[in-house]
Structure 1
Amino acid sequence: MALYPSSSRPSLRHGVRLMSVLLSVPPLVLSSCDSGSGGGDSDGSGGTGDVASLSAEVVAEYPSDPTSFTQGLEVMPEGDLLVSTGKEGQSRIYRTPRTDASHDAATVSADLDPQYFGEGSTRHGDDIWQLTWKHGVAVKRDAATLEQTDEASYTGEGWGLCSNGERLVMSDGSDKLTFRDPSTFAVTGEVSVALDGDAVDQLNELDCSDGDIWANVWYDDRILRINPATGEVNGVLDTSDLDLPAREKDGADVLNGIAKVPGTTDHFLITGKLWDTVYEVTVK
C-alpha cells in the first residue's frame, strides 16, 4: 500500500475515511494479546477482551496557533508546551505556555532550516530531538534555548517521536516503531504494532507515558495505546464523538497531537494540524 506522508495530507472532513485506513486498522474485536505494561484488560468500563475501548471527555480548551501544521506536541517538565511544525520553509519548533499556544504566545522559537520539512519532536533530559520528513536528519537542540547543538542521520521517513525516559521511540508512517539512543540517535531496537494480530500502519505523532506509547494514526479519529514490549495495541481511544469544533473549521487538517499532562493520571492534550484550539481531555 502506498503511504502518504504526514506532511502532504489533504484536509480531513468529519466522517471521511480513506479505504487504506479501513483496511489497515481492523475493527475492535476480541483479542487474546498480552496487554503488557499499562494493562488493557477489560474492567467493565468499555473494554473488549484485552483491548480496552477508551473514552474521553473535554474538560478545557486553550487557544492554539492556526498557522501551525502541528507535527509534535509535548508537555515539558516545567509545564510549558513544546510544539514542532511542518511545511517547507515554514517549519519551526517552539515553547509556549500550556494554556496558551496562540500565535504570539511562544516564549522561545527556532526555525528549521528552510530545506527541511519538520516533523515530530521530543524532550529527553536537557536535549530536544526534532525530526525531518524525507531528509533523514534529526536535529538535536538545547531544551532551554532550542538552539541546535548537533544532528544525526537516519534511514527512511520521520513522522512521530517521544521519549520513555530511557530511549526515544520513533514512527515512520509504517507499522514499525523504532527505539533509538537518546544521545546518538542510533537504533537500539524496533517493534511492529498490531491490533488483534493485524498490522496497523501510518502511525504518526507519539506520546510516551506510564509505560505505554500513544499514537495518532493518520486520517483516523482513533488514538492507539500500545504496549512497547510487544507492539500490541491494548487500548483504543475513539475521538469521533468528541465535540472538537476546531477540526471542522475551514482549512483545518487531520487530528495529530497527543500529550500527557504531567502530574495527572488521566489528563491529555489533543490537537490537530492547523487547528486553532488545543483540547484538554480526561481519558478512561
Structure 2
Amino acid sequence: MLRKFNFLSLFILCFLIISCGSKNAKKSSPFSVEISGNQQEFKLHDQINAGVKSRENIPIDSLALYLGNDRLQYKGNSNQLNINLDNVKLGSFPLKFVIFSEEGTDTLVKNIKILNDKAPVIYTYEIVNTYPHDITSYTQGLEFHDDFLYESTGLRGQSKLRKENLETGEILKEIKLDDQYFAEGLTILNGKIYQLTWQSGEGIIYDLESFEKTGIFSYNHSKEGWGLCNDGEVIYKSDGTDKIWVLDPQSLEEKGYIEPTHHKSSATRLNELEWVEGEIYANTWQKDGVAIINPENGAIDGLIDFSGLREKVTQHEQLDVLNGIAYNPETKKLYVTGKNWDKIFEVKIVKK
C-alpha cells in the first residue's frame, strides 16, 4: 500500500513540475507594437501610424503586414510605419505584424475596425406596377431567370421551390421539401438552382429545368443559411451575422467573406440577397430597409427605405415582414414582396 502511495505521489509531483516548467519555458515575444493613440477604430482611406519596438534591441530584418488574410503595403520602417487604408475590406479584422529577425519569426496582432468614410445615401421608392402573389407564400428567396420568377418559401412542413409567371401569379412548377427543412434563400447559376435551408446546416442543389434534386452542400463556416445571390461567377451567402460569405461556385465552400459596414458600425441580420448591376441588395430581417452593398469591400453605400409598402397589401393575421427582392437584368426592373403578401411590387428607386 505504501509503495503504491509513493508511486502515485511521485507521478503527481513529476506532472506538476513538468507543467510548471512548460509554462515558465514559454517565452514571450521580445517585440511589441504600438499604434498611435492606441487607436482601434478607423475609416476607409485613413492612415494607421504604428511602430514595432524591441525590448532587447534585436535588429529587425523585415516586416510583413496583413489585415485578416490580405497583405498590406506600408511606408517607412519598423520605428514609423505608415499604413494607408485605401483598398481594404471594411469591418473588424486582426492587423497582423509578422516580424523577421535573427531570433526567428514573431507574429503580433492588434484588432481593429474599419468603417466606411461616408454615410450611406438614403433612397425611397415609387410603385410602378403591382402583380399578384400567393398570399400563403412565406417568401424567403426570389430571383428572375429567363423572365420567369423563382421563389423559395419557408416554414417547416410548408417549404417549397416554385417557378412562377410574374404577370399572372400562376405557379408553373412546384416541389415541396422534406418536412425537416425550413427553406431560405435561393439563386440560379449555370443551369442549377441553389436553395438554402435555415438551421439544417446544408443547402440543396436542383436541376433548373426538371427541379430534380441533384445534390446537397454543407456550410463549412457559418451555422445557418439566410440569403443567396450570385454575380455570374461566385455565390454570396448571408447567415444572419455580420458576414456575407463568398462561396466557391464548384465546391460551394465558404472561401471568404465581406462584412457589410457603414460609417458607424457593421450590419447584422441581413437576409434576402439580390445582385443588382454590380452591387448586392440585402434586406434586413424585420426591417423595412434594403442595404446597397459594395461586394469588393463590404461598404454599405446606400439604404432604401421601403416604409409603408406593407400597408399596401391585404392585411391579415399571417401577414409578415418585407422579404423578397428580384431584379430582372433583361428589363432592368426591380421587384419586392414580403412573407404572406398578396402582391409583388415593381418599384423605381429614387434618392430622398
Distance 1:256 1:213 in 2: 15
Task: Please tell me whether the aligned partners of residues 205 and 215 of structure 2 are also in contact (alpha carbons under 8 angstroms).
Answer: yes
Is residue 67 of structure 1 aligned with residue 136 of structure 2? yes
| Corresponding letter in the other structure for 1:191 | I
Query: Quick one: which amino acid aligns to residue 225 of structure 1?
Result: I
Judge conservation of contact 1:247–1:255 (CA < 8 Å) in 2. Answer: no
Matched, 1:56 2:56: no
Match of 1:170 in 2: 237
| Structure with a larger share of its residues in helix | 2
Structure 1 unaligned spans of 5+:
1-31, 37-47
TM-score, with length taken from structure 1: 0.79
Equivalent position amino acid for 2:268 in 1: D
CA displacement, residues 222-248 of structure 1 (integer Å, 9 cap, x when unaligned): 111000111110111001144751274
Equivalent position amino acid for 1:166 in 2: E
**1:149 equivalent among 211, 214, 217:** 214
| Cα distance between partner residues in 1 of 2:118 and 2:296 | 19
Hey, what does 1:113 align to over in structure 2? 178
Give the RMSD, CA atoms, in angstroms.
2.2
Provide the identity percentage: 37
The answer to which structure, 1 or 2, has the higher relative contact order (CA under 8 A, 6+ apart) is: 1
Q: CA distance change for structure 1 residues 263 and 199 in 2, over 3 Å: closer, same or farther? A: same
Instruction: For 2:44 and 2:290, locate their aligned partners in 1 and report how far apart those are by CA, in whole Å.
Output: 18
Q: Is the 8 A contact 2:118 2:262 kept in 1?
A: no
What is the alpha-carbon distance in structure 1 between the residues aligned to residue 135 and residue 202 of structure 2? 26
Q: 1:90-109 alignment to 2 at 5 Å?
A: 90-101=158-169, 105-109=170-174
CA displacement at 1:111 relative to structure 2: 1.2
- Tell whether the 8 Å contact from 2:124 to 2:305 is kept in structure 1 after alignment: yes
Does the alignment pair 1:251 with 2:331? Answer: no
C-alpha contact 2:244 2:259 (8 A) present in aligned 1: yes
Contact map agreement 1:253 1:274 (CA 8 A) in 2: yes
Match of 2:345 in 1: 279
Aligned position for 1:194: 261
Which amino acid counterpart does residue 128 of structure 2 have in structure 1? V
Equivalent pair of 1:79/1:262 in contact (CA under 8 Å): no
Q: 1:245 to 1:33 in 2, by over 3 A?
A: farther
Partner residue in 1 for 2:200: 135
Shift of 1:49: 5.0
- The answer to whether residue 259 in structure 2 is matched with residue 215 in structure 1 is no
Task: Check the 8 A contact 1:108/1:145 in 2, yes or no.
Answer: no
Corresponding residue for 1:235?
A: 302
Q: Counting strand residues as a fraction of each chain, which structure ranks higher?
A: 2
Distance 1:244 1:165, change over 3 A: farther
Moved over 4 A (4+): 32-36, 241-244
Quick one: distance in 2 between partners of 1:184 and 1:153? 10
- Map of 1:84 onto structure 2: 152
Which structure has the greater CA radius of gyration? 2
Contact 2:119/2:263 (8 A) holds in 1: no
What TM-score results when the alignment is normalised by the length of structure 2? 0.64
Residues of 2 paired with 1:242 and 1:277: CA distance?
A: 10
For residues 110-139 of structure 1, what are the alpha-carbon distances to aligned partners after superposition, in whole Å with 9 as ceiling and x for unaligned? Answer: 111211111101101200100000001110
3-state SS of paired residue (1:144): coil
Q: Which residue of 2 aligns with 1:40?
A: none
Q: Out of 268-277 and 183-192, give the one that drifted further.
A: 183-192
Q: Distance in 1 between matches of 2:327 and 2:336?
A: 9
Q: CA deviation at 1:183?
A: 2.3
* 1:75-96 C-alpha deviation (Å, 9 max, x unpaired): 11x1010000111111010101
1:184 — aligned with what?
A: 251
